Structure 1
Amino acid sequence: MAPSSFKETLNITHIGTATAILGLDGINLITDPFFSPAGTEWDVGVAVLKNTDDPALALQDLPVIDAVLLSHEDHPDNLDELGRRLLDGRRVLTTMDGAKKLAPRPGVRGLRPWETVPLDIGGRRFQVTGTPCQHLPGGECTGFIVTAVEFGETEGLPNAIYFSGDTVYLEELAEMRKKFHISVAIFNIGAAMAPLGDSPPLQITMDGKQAARLFCEINADVLVPLHYESWGHFTQNGQQLAKAFEEEGIQEKIQRSQHRSSVTSCGREGKDSWTAVRPDTF
């Protein structure tokens, strides 16, 4: 079910993990850029992370990228060395700590939770609001709410695109429904678990039930799931998530994945259509 009140054409191309291109009438934003081939490993101290799938698109296959929405810069599954190449010479929105670490790139700006900044691209102005996240202790992470006049309104609230970043469920996030109508919610899910030595592993992204709860609480129209495949520390795959979404009664609101590199699109004035993104699940 696509939101008929959303007035602009939105194309979402899921490349893999939390990397997606948001195409808005010729303007392209990219989330959490990761482009390493399958089998690449990272030793992060408490564990060795390894990805199992190639990205659907390589760097050289990308359209022109106008800006980067980077939830955090310090985890390789959200920003690898190849993805860092996209940061140079572009507008990048990320965490306050991330902006310091990515200096001296002049286009990088950090966002505090609920802070709103303008993003001017191609003669158009978007407004981007940072959202709180709870990920690993001691680290910073941010989500993003993107609005524009061209998106239109629903019941007096600006239509918006919400990208969650890496976070577990937070009650505070439900506050966004008071200021925004979330037309499309893009969630990093998969119930990722972080090993903590002798302690039990810590859940650091939403599972299916948490995602369904947040989706309902923010009154979103459509849920596009990302970040549930390709890594061993993701503990809920697409089939498990689909079951959870069905149990929570939101299965009709989910963008169902069938083909890895195709495009999810949301159009104008009731002419909406949604096609598939990934082959392995949903």
Structure 2
Amino acid sequence: MTSVEILYVGGPTSLITLGGVRLLTDPTFDAPGEYDLGSRTLVKKTGPAVRAADLAPVDAVLLSHDQHPDNLDTTGRTFLESAPLVLSTASAYDRIGAPVRALPAWEHTEVGGVRVTAVPALHGPKGSEPLVGEVTGFVLSGAGLPKVYVSGDNADLDLVREIADREGPVDVAVLFAGAARTPVVPDAPLTLTSERAAEAAVILGARHVVPLHFEHWGHFTQDGPTLTKAFAEAGLTERLHLPEPGETVRL
């Protein structure tokens, strides 16, 4: 089986190379700063470790959602204009148009030799959809290729179980963690906690876990050390890979 390479850019942004196909997750390339969203302000504390220009060209962008600047910022939107294909939600297509292509849950498309299957995601607790909007995750697969799950901003382990039942086990789980919290849903995390990320790894049967979106923004309440602790307590230390920004993990 061939390997998968994951270049960690920062925040939710990574370049996944699988079978020679280059797939970029949630483009965020702005410098540190504040984003006023009316009901809340999101603060970016660290810029990307790799410039957008240094990542092009890519074969496709995997965009979990477009409505929050910590998953698609101003420079990221500019990047989309030159992307040959952007796979995302129906809501993202309605707001952005081409080159976004809506990929409903459980439907798939081929990008090079990689099958990209959209899988359900929930950006917070059950019932939060009207507040947080539509999000999606992805499963990447292909003949002779590792199977990779990209969670997007999914916080729901019941959905992880459904994905595992239909698509699992996976070789690599790219899990958006950080236990994000904002005033929109004040009483529950909007992304996986460190403990739930470890539980998700078990549910998925993942041999390797590469967390994203757990640092570089002010609304995260957990970080790399809490991930390390949670995976150690679950007996999963050997599965966890925490790359430094700008570092490539080969699995």
Normalised by the length of structure 1, the TM-score is 0.81
Aligned to 1:45: 38
How big is the shift at 1:119?
A: 2.2
Please give the alpha-carbon distance, in whole angstroms, between the structure 2 residues aligned to 1:58 and 1:253: 29
Aligned residues of 2:103 and 2:118 also touching (Cα < 8 A): yes
Partner Cα distance (2:140, 2:19) in 1? 15
State the 1:265 CA deviation. Answer: 0.7
- Aligned runs of 1:170-189 on 2, under 5 Å? 170-178=157-165, 179-189=167-177
Aligned partner of residue 193 in structure 1, secondary structure: coil
What CA deviation, in whole Å up to 9, does each residue of 1:49-100 have, x standing for no partner?
1111120011122242110000000000000111112222421110111111
Q: 1:66 aligns with which of 59, 70, 79?
A: 59
Q: Is the 8 A contact 2:18 2:114 kept in 1?
A: no
| 2:15 matched residue in structure 1 | 21
Query: AA paired with 2:233?
Result: E
Corresponding residue of 1:142: 136
1:110 aligns with 2:102: yes
Q: How many angstroms apart in 1 are the aligned matches of 2:226 and 2:160?
A: 24
5+ long unaligned stretches in structure 2: none
Deviation per CA, 1:117-153: give whole Å up to 9, x if none. Answer: 22233xxx321111111115321000000111131xx
Report the Cα offset of residue 25 of structure 1. Answer: 4.4
Number of the residue aligned with 1:273? none
Q: What is the Cα deviation at residue 22 of structure 1?
A: 0.5
Q: What percentage of residue pairs aligned between the two structures are identical?
A: 36
The amino acid across from 2:152 in the alignment is G
- Structure showing greater Rg: 1
Instruction: Calculate the TM-score normalised by the size of structure 2.
Output: 0.91
Given that residues 43 and 219 in structure 2 are in contact (C-alpha distance below 8 angstroms), is that contact kept between their aligned partners in structure 1?
no
Worse overlay, 84-93 or 206-215: 84-93
> What RMSD in Å do the two structures reach over aligned CA positions?
1.7
Tell me, in whole angstroms, the C-alpha distance in 1 between the residues paired with 2:89 and 2:249: 27
Instruction: Please name the residue that 2:198 is paired with.
Output: 212
Counterpart of 2:188 in 1: which secondary structure?
Answer: strand
Corresponding residue SS for 1:202: coil
Deviations 1:202-221 (A, max 9, x none): 31000011111111011111
Structure 1 window deviating more from structure 2 (81-90 vs 43-52): it is 81-90
CA distance in 2, matches of 1:242, 1:42: 30
**Structure 2 match to 1:256:** 242
Question: Per-residue CA shift, 1:225-268, capped at 9, x if unaligned?
Answer: 111111111000111221111112211110133x32121012xx
The reply on whether 1:119 has 2:113 as its aligned counterpart is no
Runs of 5+ consecutive residues of structure 1 not aligned to the other structure: 1-6, 152-158, 267-282
More helix by proportion, 1 or 2? 2
